[in-house]
Amino acid sequence: MSNYSHNGRRRVVITGIGAVTPLGNDVESSWDGLVSGRSGAATIEQWDASEYPVHFACELKDFDPATWIEHKQARRMDRFAQMIVAAARQAESDSGLQVEPEAERIGASIATGIGGLQAFQDCYDVLLARGPDRVNPFSIPQIIPNMGAAWVSMELGTRGPLSSQCTACAASNMAIGEAADMIRLGRADAVFAGGTEAGITPVGIAGFSAMRALARRNDEPEKASRPFDADRSGFVMGEAGGVVVLEELEHARSRGAKIYAELLGYGLSSDAKHVTEPDPSGENPARAMTMAFGDAGISPDEVDYINAHGTSTPLGDASETRVIKLALGEEAALKTPVSSTKGATGHCLGAAGAVEAIFTILAVNKNVLPPTINYETPDPECDLDYIPNEAREADVKVAVSNSFGFGGHNACIVVREFAE
């Protein structure tokens, strides 16, 4: 088969994956936790949240940055940067890609929704308590959102294109889509792409709580994230880092790389409606999906699985149901399996798209559809097949992953089973 896609561009394949998530500190344990229906939610352990409206979140468990990063360097990073370097190291090892011999042809495209929120809080606390002369000189490099991408490049030694996306909860999907375009346009032969977020801080929990965005099931945290369920009441804050290695097909072939799947299409749009609420019509996010279908050269009835944005908010999940119906058509939408893996991971904000891209890739690679856990009571406004509570074996050739962000950012990617 040709090294070029239907529209004459270089084909892009996925040759490596890496992740640290609330379900595990690598891809294998994260996937196993997901398909077994486990929740990553529990009482917050990084700090005492007992006086806050929400006491729980989906944190990483036993995450030790020293496993992947030299101690001195790790101390210079905020947690969000530590997590993305860990995920990138895993993806590099998984891919077998040797960076140094061709570093100028290898790039990084790494997103975050917020950046170094803990470093910001630490800096402010020291400023108030001890004055401006005692502020950590690494504070600003720890806070600024681009440093996740910068640290991946510095730690791995990539010297090709380097970009950082900060488009709220759509950021990681945009990072992956833009990385694919780097390869299609000939600017790179391989790109480490993904996203990271470490927002489980006092400011993060207090801020989202004040918006009434978070679920408040403090007595039952593992049941709090329940996408598309009639009793959903808000999202559960999560944290994660996820990276995929995208590679031009012939480049991957030439080194005998294993290929998980092909990244086939990418679409994006803007709502231009509201700072936090989804587009009530669903038309603008649906355009991102149809753009991705067009880019991929597929018809909506070819989609075998959709990994939904599905955050477990009353407005968002109902809106996305309308979006999917608009993009696929009512008849096709009712037949297409959809799940939100945020029931298990919580909402990892700027990292959500990266983690969910990995789950979507594995759904294609393993022919297993991950479930929407905690789906117990159907909502008449959410009437699709949400793969409730149990993973399902299926023939998955084409899969889609949606990410929608505050401010009206919409991004969608299409992944296909690799075929020569």
| Residue 347 bears catalytic tag | yes
Q: What percent of the chain has pLDDT over 70?
A: 98
Of the two residues 278 and 151, the one the predictor is more confident about is 151
Confidence of residue 9 (pLDDT cuts 50, 70, 90): confident
The single residue of 123, 309, 348, 412 carrying the catalytic annotation is 309
Using a 10 angstrom Cβ sphere, with 0-12 exposed, 13-18 middle and 19 or more buried, the burial of residue 302 is: middle
| Residue 409 bears catalytic tag | no
Same domain, 301 and 349: yes
CATH number at residue 96: 3.40.47.10
Q: What's the pLDDT score for residue 395?
A: 98
Mutual angle of helices 147-156 and 79-95, in 10-degree steps: 40
Q: What is the mean pLDDT of residues 138-145?
A: 96
| Residue 348 bears catalytic tag | no
Tell whether the model's pLDDT for residue 8 goes beyond 80.
no
Same domain, 249 and 273: no
Same domain, 37 and 149: yes
Q: What's the pLDDT score for residue 6?
A: 64
Same domain, 212 and 331: no
Same domain, 287 and 163: no
Structure tokens of 286?
């649906």
**Interval 291-303: pLDDT, tens:** 999 999 999 999 9
Same domain, 336 and 215: no
Domain final position from 227, 254, 281: 254
**Interval 318-336: pLDDT, tens:** 999 999 999 999 999 999 9
Same domain, 159 and 308: no
| Amino acid letter, 36 | S
Query: 214 lies in a domain?
Result: yes
Between CA 309 and CA 72 the distance in angstroms is 37
Q: What percent of the chain has pLDDT over 90?
A: 96
Same domain, 48 and 141: yes
Range of the domain at 287: 265-415
The single residue of 347, 382, 409, 412 carrying the catalytic annotation is 347
Same domain, 130 and 248: yes
Tell whether the model's pLDDT for residue 98 goes beyond 70.
yes
The single residue of 58, 123, 166, 169 carrying the catalytic annotation is 169
Same domain, 249 and 298: no
Same domain, 240 and 283: no
pTM as predicted? 0.97
Same domain, 304 and 356: yes
**Interval 33-45: pLDDT, tens:** 999 999 999 999 9
Non-local CB neighbours of 138 within 8 Å, separated by 6+ positions: 76, 119
